[in-house]
Amino acid sequence: MAERLEIGQIAPEFTAKNQRDEDIALSSLRGKSVVLYFYPKDDTPGCTTEGQEFTALYPKFQVAGAEILGVSRDSVASHLKFACKYEFPFSLLADPDETLCKAYDVIKEKKNYGKVYLGIERSTFVIDREGKLAYIERKVKAAGHAEKILAIVEKLAG
């Protein structure tokens, strides 16, 4: 179990493969704000909505000096299919062994139709230019979330 993450602490470092099978390291994004959003599964309704909203606002995130990274337990191949289908302009990071999920403490007990299982709790972390956690939101509702995060990133940009 990861330690409880708090605003102001250094974000857990990681390197993970994106949908193009490229290594993406958090440390390589220093100097930019990073929106790290965890979602349960590729090509499901809520995850698609969230991705599409981040895509629609992506130019504004770029102007604010921010990069967006989506993370789920899906494979690189699954991410490629999902990203291509909806033309996502940002990286989707594959975390099949839950390394990132555990570092950011997003694996939670969930219930669906009476069945209990462990899954990703939709969560977003905004990491500032120095690599510190600037904002944490858990139990995210997908619709309208990207706009809320954009306002936070724009505030960080000054």
Active site residues: 47
Tell me the C-alpha to C-alpha distance, in Å, between residue 26 and each of 1, 48, 109, 118.
21, 24, 27, 26
**Strands (DSSP E) found in the chain:** 15-17, 23-25, 33-38, 66-72, 91-94, 107-112, 115-120, 123-127, 133-138
Return the residue matching tokens 């299982």: 117
Are 69 and 87 contacting, i.e. CB atoms less than 8 angstroms apart?
no
